[in-house]
Structure 1
Amino acid sequence: MSTIADVARLASVAKATASRALSGKGYVSDETRARVVTAARTIGYVVSPNAASLVTGRTKNIGVIIPYISRWFFAEVLESVEQALLAQGYDMTLYNLPTSSPERVRVFEYFLARKRFDGVISVGVELTEDEVDSLHQMQRPLVGIGGPIRGVHTIAIDDVATARLATEHLLSLGHTHILHIGGSLEEQMDFDVHSKRLRGFNAAMGSAGLPIKDTFYACELTVPGGYERGRSLLGDPRRRPTAIFAASDEIAIGLIVAARELGILVPSELSVIGIDGHPYAEMFRLTTLEQHPRNQGRLAVTSLLADLDTPDRHREVSTVLPTNLVMRSSTSAPRPPVA
C-alpha cells in the first residue's frame, strides 16, 4: 500500500509539502502541487479520510436528516444535496428520520452526537427544542430546508403566498366555484404545510368575497390520492366545481386523470392548478407554481460549507425562495353557462 512518504519521494518534496498539496491546506506552488498530484496518481495513492481529518479537523462528511425518501420533493432535494456535496469532495450520511419514536431519539443521542460530521442538513424536519439544543451542542453548522429552526439558517418557500397566488390565478380567469384539495389537517406535514396552503386559498377566496365553507377536501399528496378524491368529488355534477387548486402537482395530475375518465374536459369544464414543478407537469400540460427543490438543496449545501469556513455564524435567518407561475393548458376561463 502506498503512503504519503512514497508520494513525497516520487515528487521530490518533503512529506509535509506533499500533505499540504493533497489536502489543499497551506501554501504550495501550482507547479509543486501538480507534481505531487501526478505522483499520487502514478502510484495509486488515495488520501485517507481519517488521516486528513487529523490534519484538517474535518471528516468531509455531512449528515442529512429527512422524513421521507420516496416522495418526489424530498427525493429531488436529496439528490441535489448529494450531487452538490460530491462536487465539493464531501460524503453524505443519510438518516430517514421517523416521527417521535425511540429510533428518532437514538439518531440524536447517539449517531449525530458522535460528531462524525462536519455539519448537518435538516430537510423538511420540524425539530423539537431538545433536538435543536442537541444539534447546537455539537458545535457543528446546521442548515434547514422547509421552515424555521431556532438559531439556524433555513431555506423555504412561502406556502401561504404561493397558495394564494395559485388561487388568484383561477380567480383572475373568472372562476368563482373553486375547491381546494390538499393534505389532511389531521396528518400535517412538518411546518404545517397543509394548513398554510389552505390558509392561502382561504385568504384569496375571502378577498374576492367568495364563501369558503365546504370548499376544502383532503387526500394523500399523491397521484392515487388525487385520483380517488377526483373520482368521488367530480362524479356528482351537482357539486362539481369549475376549478380546483391542488396542494401538489401529484394531486393535480390524479385529478386530471379522474376527470378524463369521467368525460370532463380539462380545462373547458374544469381548470386545475398545482404547486411543485413536478417533471410530469409538462406531460399533463399542468399549470403550476414551481418551487425548484433542487435549487433548495444546492443552496443548503452552499450555506453549510460557508458556515464551515466561518464558525460561530449561528444566526436565525430565513431565506424565502420565490416560486414562479407556469401557465399551461390545464387552466382557462370557465365555460359560459348554457342559455
Structure 2
Amino acid sequence: MAASIIDVARRAKVSTATVSRALRGLPNVSETTRDRVLRAAEELSYAISPHASSLASGRTGTIGVVLPFVNRWFYSQVLSGIDAVLRANDLDLLLYNLGDARVHERFFARMPLRRRVDALIVLNLPLSKAESEALVSMEVPVAVLGTRVPGCWHVSIDNAQGATTAVRHLINLGHRRIGMITGALGDPRGFTTPIVREHAYRSVLAEAGIPYEPELEAPGNFGIEEGASAMARLLSLPDPPTAVFAESDLMAFGALRTLTRMGLRAPDDVSVIGFDDHETAELLNLTTIAQSVAHQGELLARQILDALSGASEEPTEVVVPTRLVVRGTTGAARVAGPRTSPEHPPEPAADSAPYPGGPPERHPDQHTRTTAR
C-alpha cells in the first residue's frame, strides 16, 4: 500500500500541513524541518501528487464547502459568511450537500471534490477516523466547523458553556422544574451538538440539586413545527415545567406558538430561552444564547486564505464566544406550573411518547466533543 501524506507526517513528527508546504518548497518551513520531511518522504517512497501541486498554486480558484443540510437557517448563515470572504478575494464556492447518511457514505468513498478545489471547508459533520484521514489525504488545506480533525484548521463555539449559561439563567430566576426541547435528530451519523447541550442541561440541574426527570425532555429536531409539538408534550404533563430551554431559537419559536395557542404567555406561565439569536429572536422578544453564526463562516474562509497564502503554516483553532441575551420571555418563577384551561388542555403531538425505558444512554465523556447540529 502506497504511503500517504499522513504517513510522512507521522514519520517526520510534524503536521500534514508542514509536510505539504515542505514538499512544495513553500516558505515558513525551517531548513531542518524541510530536511526531516524530505528524508521521511524518501524513506517511505512518497511522491507528492501533481494534482495537489497545481491546486496549491490556486489554479482552480475554487473552495469546496461540504455540509449536512442546505435548508437549515444555521447553515445558510455560515455559508453567507464564507461566501462574503471568498467573493471579496475572487474565489468561487463549490457546494456539496451530503443530505443523508447514504450520501455521506458515498462522498467519502468517492471523494468527488478531489482535484477540483484549492481547499475545503467542512461544516459540522460527525467524522470517523477514516473519514478525517480521507480529508487530510486530499493534500489541500481543510478547515472544519465544530468537529476537531487533526491537521485541519478549526472554528467552533463552546456548546457546553452556552447551554450551561442558559440553564443557570433559569435556575437563577428561581425555576426548579425546567424542561428541555432537544435537537435530537435521529440521524445515524451521530450528530453530537444535541448530546453536548443535553449533557450540560443535566449537569447544571445536578449542580443545583435538582433531580433529573426524563419526561421533562422532548425532541424538537431543530425545527419550528417540532418545537411546537415538543412544547405541547411538555405542557401535557401532570406537573408541567415552569421554564423551558430550547436548544435552538427555531424550536423556541415553535414553543412560543404553542403557548399562545394554549392561551398561555411567556414568561407569566412558562419562561422560554433559546439558542442562536436568530434575527427573528428580537422581534419575538426571545431570551436566548447568542452566537455569531455568519462570523464563524467568515473565520473559516479567512483560515483557508491564510493557509493558501502561506501566512498560516500550522492549523489554527478559534473558539467563538457565546453570550446570554435577556429579553422578555424569561422571568422569575411564580407558580408550580403553567395555568391551563380545563376546557382546552394542551394536546401532545402524536410522536411525543416518552423515551422507551428512559432517555438514551450517553458516554460520560461526550460533553467534551465539539459538534455538529
Shorter-chain TM band: 0.7 to 0.9
| Rounded Cα–Cα distance in structure 1 between residues aligned with 2:94 and 2:328 | 42
| Rounded Cα–Cα distance in structure 2 between residues aligned with 1:152 and 1:188 | 24
Could you report, residue by residue, the CA deviation over 1:256-293 in whole angstroms, capped at 9, with x for unpaired residues?
A: 11011111121011100010111111121100001111
* Aligned residue number for residue 38 of structure 1: none
Q: Which secondary structure does the structure 2 equivalent of 1:205 belong to?
A: helix
* Aligned residue number for residue 44 of structure 1: none
After superposition, residues 123-142 of structure 1 pair within 5 angstroms as 123-142=123-142
* Aligned residue number for residue 19 of structure 1: none
Structure exhibiting the larger radius of gyration computed from Cα positions? 1
| Rounded Cα–Cα distance in structure 2 between residues aligned with 1:185 and 1:104 | 18
* Aligned residue number for residue 167 of structure 1: 167
Contact 1:147/1:191 (8 A) holds in 2: no
| Rounded Cα–Cα distance in structure 2 between residues aligned with 1:148 and 1:261 | 42
1:58 counterpart = 2:59: yes
Which stretch shifts more, 58-67 or 211-220?
A: 211-220
Shift of 1:311: 8.0
TM-score by length of 1: 0.77
Shift of 1:310: 1.6
Could you report, residue by residue, the CA deviation over 1:281-327 in whole angstroms, capped at 9, with x for unpaired residues?
A: 11211000011110100000001100011288354x53221001111
Could you report, residue by residue, the CA deviation over 1:61-81 in whole angstroms, capped at 9, with x for unpaired residues?
A: 100000000101011111221
Give the residue type in structure 1 aligned to 2:168. E
Aligned length: 283
Give the residue type in structure 2 aligned to 1:253. F
Unaligned runs of 5+ in 2: 1-53, 338-373
TM-score by length of 2: 0.71
| Rounded Cα–Cα distance in structure 1 between residues aligned with 2:176 and 2:306 | 48
Q: Which secondary structure does the structure 2 equivalent of 1:83 belong to?
A: helix
* Aligned residue number for residue 279 of structure 1: 279
| Rounded Cα–Cα distance in structure 2 between residues aligned with 1:195 and 1:100 | 19
**Higher RCO structure, 1 or 2 (CA under 8 Å, sep 6+):** 2
Q: Which secondary structure does the structure 1 equivalent of 2:154 belong to?
A: strand
Could you report, residue by residue, the CA deviation over 1:75-95 in whole angstroms, capped at 9, with x for unpaired residues?
A: 111122112110111001000
Contact 2:98/2:107 (8 A) holds in 1: no
* Aligned residue number for residue 319 of structure 1: 318
CA RMSD of aligned residues (A): 2.4
Cα 1:54/1:233, change in 2 over 3 Å: closer
After superposition, residues 30-109 of structure 1 pair within 5 angstroms as 56-101=57-102, 104-106=105-107, 109=110
* Aligned residue number for residue 231 of structure 1: 232
| Rounded Cα–Cα distance in structure 2 between residues aligned with 1:311 and 1:193 | 31
Q: Which secondary structure does the structure 1 equivalent of 2:64 belong to?
A: strand
Contact 1:188/1:194 (8 A) holds in 2: no
Shift of 1:175: 0.7
- Answer 1 or 2: which has greater helix percent: 1
Between the aligned residues of both structures, percent identity stands at: 32
Runs of 4 or more consecutive aligned structure 1 residues displaced over 3 Å after TM superposition: 53-57, 185-191, 311-315
Shift of 1:229: 1.7
| Rounded Cα–Cα distance in structure 1 between residues aligned with 2:336 and 2:312 | 63
Give the residue type in structure 2 aligned to 1:59. T
After superposition, residues 257-268 of structure 1 pair within 5 angstroms as 257-268=257-268
| Rounded Cα–Cα distance in structure 2 between residues aligned with 1:232 and 1:54 | 53
Contact 2:242/2:335 (8 A) holds in 1: no
Give the residue type in structure 1 aligned to 2:127. L
* Aligned residue number for residue 26 of structure 1: none
Give the residue type in structure 1 aligned to 2:81. S
After superposition, residues 156-195 of structure 1 pair within 5 angstroms as 156-184=156-184, 186-187=186-187, 191-195=191-195
| Rounded Cα–Cα distance in structure 1 between residues aligned with 2:55 and 2:207 | 61
